[in-house]
Amino acid sequence: MDQSEALLRRPLWRFIDQSAYGPGFNPIHSFAADDALATAIGAGQSPATARAWVHHDTIVLGIQDTKLPYLKEGVEVLENEGYRVIVRNSGGLAVLLDEGVLNLSLLVPDTEKGIDIDRGYEAMYTLVRHMFPEADIDAYEIVGSYCPGSYDLSIGGRKFAGISQRRLKKGVAVQIYLCVNGSGSERAAVVRSFYEAAKRQAQTKWVYPDIQPEVMASLEELIRKPLTIQDVIIRFLKSLQELGGPLESGSMTSFEADVFDGYLQRVIERNDRALA
């Protein structure tokens, strides 16, 4: 068993499914939820947890995006297109979420020695490859994609997923967004319009992506067969059981709900400051 598979192997996985909450599900709640779960798991109060979540018509900005010189104008472009704009509490750059994008979080305790950052990424990469044995999935940076990173997941050079990580209080959250269906290039064009409006030709301290929509696609486009969010959740749960161990459905505990309220307030305040 390699190190990434060892990270997946647990005595029990709790699964929290928030994939069908609908358009009213505020994405700010998702980032507070993962922080609350990571805190409880890190404190030994809860078992390792997998969470599935979907948000409608949302652009999630990274902290770095809030430094753009014409941020207000960029946000206006997105809002005029019908998108809600929020700022997440971790690094990276803008991503687009809609009803065809599935987000998955794996939340585990950090060990005494600390989980090497690459192990978290490799664990998620291992899991996704197991979910789609019919596809040849690579992990390397796809230049021209939105939110590029060294663990962009692609098939034939076209990106369909990105992985991020967040660590706090001895808990680790490894998060992935998977473009399941719909048009990957149309999503990329929306994010490109944000950067065009928010950066213009200005020189910036940070490097922002020059988005080429054709390098992005959905899984449905890439494997050339119909795919729903539910199809992918079923593959996810089957693979997590085979690689990780026993699985049970669950929900937040009262301890987690109490911690969640504090994190939610922080995320709301951060958004108010960043988008003021």
Residues of the domain holding 18: 3-274
**Which pLDDT does position 37 carry in this prediction?**
97
**Which pLDDT does position 115 carry in this prediction?**
65
Q: Does this model's pTM top 0.85?
A: yes
Report the CATH number at residue 25: 3.30.930.10
Please give the order of strands across the beta sheet that includes 247-249.
Answer: 137-139, 153-155, 158-168, 171-179, 101-109, 49-53, 13-18, 247-249
For residues 78 and 180, give the distance between their C-alpha atoms in angstroms, rounded to a whole number: 22
**Which pLDDT does position 114 carry in this prediction?**
65
**Which pLDDT does position 73 carry in this prediction?**
97
Q: Does the annotation count 147 as an active-site position?
A: yes
How many domains in the chain?
A: 1
Options 128, 147, 222, 227, the catalytic residue: 147
**Which pLDDT does position 171 carry in this prediction?**
94
Would you put residue 92 in left (φ > 0), alpha (ψ -120 to 50) or beta? left
> What does each of the 276 residues of the chain score in pLDDT, given as a tens digit?
677 788 999 999 999 999 999 999 999 999 999 999 999 999 999 999 999 999 999 999 999 999 999 999 999 999 999 999 999 877 789 999 999 999 999 999 987 666 677 889 999 999 999 999 999 999 999 999 999 999 999 999 999 999 999 988 899 999 999 999 999 999 999 999 999 999 998 989 989 999 999 999 999 999 999 999 999 999 999 999 999 999 999 999 999 999 999 999 999 999 999 888
For residues 263 and 265, give the distance between their C-alpha atoms in angstroms, rounded to a whole number: 5
* Alpha-helix runs per DSSP H in the chain: 3-8, 27-42, 71-80, 117-131, 184-199, 219-223, 229-244, 254-274
Cβ-based neighbours of 256, under 8 Å, separated by 6 or more: 36, 37, 39, 40, 45, 46
For residues 275 and 57, give the distance between their C-alpha atoms in angstroms, rounded to a whole number: 18
